[in-house]
Amino acid sequence: MVVKTRVKIVVDHREANSPVLEELRKYAEIELANLDAGDYLVSSRCSIERKSCEDFAKSIVDGRLFSQLKKLVELYELPILLIEGTDLYAILPREAIIGAIAAAVSDFRIPVVRTKTHTETADLILAIAKREQGEHRGLPRIRVKPKFRDLSEIQEFLLAGLPGIDRK
């Protein structure tokens, strides 16, 4: 493992049986939660959506990918798409995969990172969490996008998302 410093990571409950989670538990304080977007929340501004190569391809076909990316961008300043595995082109044509990655980067402004194994994925998530939490950006805070009634509620929501500021 790359990171030895204990950090806190909020993990979506759908990742509860992931081998990545088992690796993360060795070096991080883990909180399972129902996240609206992303699978691994490593700071108040950074959420990571992890996809296996197979799930990445399937989410392109069924349309989930772009709705998930849209939610990530709406809720987090630094969303990351992580694609894990070595068989990226096994299900869909190369052009479809490359097109979806290009859309994530160009249209959604989301960096795309590739890892080969669940251990490498855990190492990367821990390294990002350490940097995010070590830069005084704070621990992960779950944010949901509420329905706003007026401009003042939007302003309050945005200000409450800044480090050191909440609604109280």
pLDDT at 77: 92
Q: Residue 98: its pLDDT value, please?
A: 96
133 alpha carbon, distance to own chain's centre: 15
Q: State if pTM tops 0.75.
A: yes
Provide the pLDDT for residue 134.
82
pLDDT profile of the chain (168 residues), mean per 10: 70 94 93 93 94 96 95 94 95 94 96 97 96 71 60 69 62
7-160 CATH:
3.40.50.10130
Q: Looking at residue 87, what DSSP letter applies?
A: -
Separation of alpha carbons 121 and 20, rounded Å: 7
